[in-house]
Amino acid sequence: MRYLLLFCAFLMTALLADSAAPGPTPPLAAQWKKIDALLKKDRTATAAPLVEKIYQQAKVERNSPAYVRALLYKIRLLSNKENDADEKAIALLEADLKTAAFPARPILHSLLAGLYSDYYNQHRYQLYERTQGAAPTADPAPPSAANGGPDLATWDAGRLGAAIVRHYYQSVEEEPQRQLATTLADLGDLATSGDAEGRALRPTLYDLLAQRAIAGLQNQELYITRPEQQFQATDPRLFGSAQEFAALKLDAPAADSLNGQLHALRLLQRLTAQRLAANNPAALADVDLQRLGYLRGITQNTDLADHYEPALARMAEAYKALPISTEFIASHAQAQREADPTAAVALARAAEARFPKSRGAARARAVRAEIERPELAFSAAGMVVPGQPWRLDIVARNVTELHAFAYRITLREWATAGNGNYEERNRPLAQRFAHALKAVPAATWALPVPMQPTEYEEHRFAATGSSLPLGYYLILLTNQPKLSLADPALASSVTAYALAGASELSAVSRYQMATDIPQLLVLHRQTGQPLAGVAAQATYQFYNQDGTRSQAVKSEATRTTADGIVELSKTLKQQERPLAAAKIWRGTDTLLLQNLPGVHSQPIDNQPQRHAFLFTDRAIYRPGQTVYFKGILTQSQAANAKLLTGQPVSVRLLDVNGQIAQTLTFTTSEYGSFSGSLVLPTGLLNGEMTLQTDNGSLSFAVEDYKRPTFLVTLDSVPGRPQLGQPLTLAGRARAYAGPATDGGRVQYRVTRRELWALLEGGFRGRSSYPPGGRGGNQEIAHGTTTTDAEGRFSVTFTPPAVPQQPGRRGWEPGYLFEITADVTDAAGETRTGTRSVVIGRNPLSLQLSGPELLDRQHLPALTLLGTNATGEPLPATGTLRLLVRRYHPNLPGVPGPAPED
């Protein structure tokens, strides 16, 4: 109900907000003002009759603005008093849709699509677990509100997604010419929002509804189930000029008539044609910008993705006389941000200089600020040797100088800093350590930084910490000569912190299972010698009788023996209480030991949890069949959840023994989704197999529930197949008894996947892919053929030639082409054959194998295997070079090994 209220508030803002320029007073302004005042005081029971009166009056008078507004208020009132308000709101609009007239009818279609979409978003967890229901026998128009509304609890994700697409489609198909002739001014108080520039770019009812439809149809979750023959956005002219795009013919197979991408592109075509006819360059540029943004979202991991940035550059030049041209430049800078941050900064500066006060210039400034923003993180040992230099491992970006400050803190502050509750850990640093930061630092020093100010790249390096006397410290690193934690708005400032202690004491713990008594061996931190006479005291943790508050009790202090050993004995009352910590001390040197054996896990804060929801096209398969799957990656914390975009995902197929049979890698889309397919291996045990990710899994059955009578094989490819050259694979279908499968129908499909190695790195351990490599599947060919009298058939396709990217040197990706052929015989039995072909720019593949560790004085024999794209041996000669990884030696005085980039 809370989500429905938020959605209604969004609709009211979008359709009923105040205009930048005051317009005429609506006829019902006084009544609406009174209703708003009542709702503000939560007097819904008093407001409801007033809304109903306006609603009934508007229906009789055919006052569409007042009628639609009253409907929105009725939905808002529902959300305040009904538990199932979302279902009843949908039923209310569905019932009114039957009698609504123009212009209310297309608006209701759009509002219904939004309500269905909101229901989908808030119930996606239940929908992912719901099996596909039977298709409705007729157009599934839900019942009226009078009889309880639609039973959405029985709808699966596919049916709900189809309803969303259908209503968005009908919102712009209801008398489109009248919508184009209806200006926003004609809608009265239904469309009083927006500034003068926005109303000039999108001036009609059709613009308003089309923009809502395009935004709603971008959600890839709506297309969980797709037909075999489907619309594919593969024409490079989609990225062409406005005239070229408007003239492009877009068709889809009949089975894919509800394809949201197709409808969105057709809407963009209509908007483009209308702008061309009206000779409105600014509005035309606005549609072109929206088109390129939409195409970028649906063409990721395809060849068409390479057309996005050139199209932005062309249109930025074509509309250079208009302020909106800076939007194209800002989008280009955003696209270049990861691959070439230097070029992205140059583009952003160009947008800022062209029209400094434009929206595009503001976007460009934000992109540039993000690229130039300094980042800093470091780690250090929790305890160091007093009076000795120590090591800091630093990860930094856009940082040219570093200054360190060490402030004394108490043992209590040091102990509780990492174990406090969520609110405490998220308090500003200046508040958490306010007392310590008021004092003079115990030590300050400058750190050399091996990076240039315009590199915009992450660097890892080690530095030396200043020697510290006995005690506990808050270590602060900043890129400013003077520490200023009170000015977080300073964009060029960055600060990182860690806690460290300086103690000559160290300890090794051991838990005696027989006696249930933990022991400590106390050693000198630098020499490793056992220390005698060191005092030790244990702290035990327990909850009070009502279990509402944690309490601690300390044991009696004991001392180490001549061998440095001390037992942390328990009293009778402490026998059932878990050991929380132990403190050892000698003079002023104190060491607190936490996480010792026997410590019970403390309640952890509600941390963000990732979930991967997987679903397949079937629940049971035969060996050798193709499994089509899709997944959604989300992150939840408490009652909040969000989709994770641009995240690498590894999908593993586990056989019935839990062994990994196949592994595929993907990157989630802007809607947090990923999809792919794999062919189940043959020759393994039947039973339950699993698709597994790091954050979720899905199991399905693999059974020979119908004994096969024939098999399908695809021959290997001889020679050296190359990109851009036609490739033919021969196949054969024959019965296990020997006869050929004559006249069988063959459906084949060819997919391509780019093969990139996942690179380590990224700021603070984030993994990243090289520019252009995302590991998704792309269908490049499909079709049908027939087996001949000998059961033979052939599949011919051309592996797309991929142009070499300018400036790219060294190793380049390969491409895995998977050819799948489904053969159906006269009896209706279908069998599948597959063949994978790896083709790169170089048709020769080399594999080098040998031991992981080598003695360079006595190198062992290494094995080199040369093969063609299909794995057939291929002779080759060349030069073998042994290279070392990039190595930056530590700066003078820095202990330990050098970090590797």
Q: Domain with 516 in it: what CATH number?
A: 2.60.40
Any domain includes 297: no
Total domains present in the chain: 5
- 276-284 long-range contacts, CB within 8 A, separation 24+: 276/242, 276/243, 276/246, 281/319, 281/322, 282/200, 282/201, 282/322, 282/324, 283/200, 283/201, 283/202, 283/203, 284/242
Pairing of strands 696-702, 620-621: parallel
Q: Which stretch of 114-118, 274-278, 589-593, 845-849 has the lowest confidence by average pLDDT?
A: 845-849
Q: Same structural domain for residues 684 and 717? A: no
Domain of 676 in residue numbering reads as: 609-702
- The tokens for 58 are 């508007």
Q: Same structural domain for residues 406 and 456? A: yes
Q: Say whether pLDDT at 432 is over 50.
A: yes
Give, for 663, the enclosing helix (H) or strand (E): strand 660-667
Q: Same structural domain for residues 846 and 732? A: yes
d(CA 114, CA 8): 10
Burial label, 99 (beta-carbon count in 10 A; 0-12, 13-18, 19+): exposed
Any domain includes 223: no
In single-letter form, the type of residue at position 267 comes to L
> Would you state the pLDDT for residue 488?
47
Any domain includes 80: no
| CA-based nearest residue to 592, from 649, 647, 535 | 535
Q: In the listed set 546, 567, 594, which residue is the last one of a domain according to the structure?
A: 594
Any domain includes 726: yes
- When pLDDT is averaged across residues 815-838 and rounded to a whole number, the result is 89
Cβ atoms within 10 Å, residue 159: 19
- The tokens for 768 are 């990243």
Q: In the listed set 372, 403, 433, which residue is the last one of a domain according to the structure?
A: 372
According to the per-residue pLDDT averaged within each range, which of 247-256, 569-578, 603-612 is highest?
247-256
Pairing of strands 814-824, 777-786: unpaired
Domain of 431: which CATH number? 2.60.40.10
Q: How far is residue 618 CA from its own chain's centroid? A: 26
Cα distances (angstroms) measured from residue 206 to each of 10, 16, 365 = 20, 17, 33
Q: Same structural domain for residues 517 and 488? A: no
Q: Same structural domain for residues 528 and 578? A: yes
d(CA 523, CA 383): 14
Any domain includes 328: yes
- Residue listed under structure tokens 């039947």: 686
Residues 6+ apart with CB under 8 A from 738: none
- Report residue 228's pLDDT band, with 50, 70 and 90 as the boundaries: low
Cα distances (angstroms) measured from residue 490 to each of 495, 662, 817 = 11, 49, 51
Q: In the listed set 337, 372, 407, which residue is the last one of a domain according to the structure?
A: 372
Q: Same structural domain for residues 368 and 379? A: no
Q: Same structural domain for residues 743 and 839? A: yes
Any domain includes 695: yes
Q: Same structural domain for residues 418 and 387? A: yes
Any domain includes 96: no
Q: Same structural domain for residues 424 and 543? A: no
Q: Same structural domain for residues 389 and 533? A: no
Q: Say whether pLDDT at 551 is over 60.
A: yes
Domain of 626: which CATH number? 2.60.40.1930
Any domain includes 290: no
Q: Same structural domain for residues 486 and 532? A: no
d(CA 536, CA 584): 4
> Would you state the pLDDT for residue 599?
42
Q: Same structural domain for residues 742 and 721? A: yes
d(CA 345, CA 364): 9
According to the per-residue pLDDT averaged within each range, which of 225-239, 254-268, 571-585, 625-639 is highest?
625-639
Classify 62 in phi/psi space as left (phi over 0), alpha (psi -120 to 50) or beta: left
> Would you state the pLDDT for residue 564?
92
Q: Note if the pTM is more than 0.75.
A: no
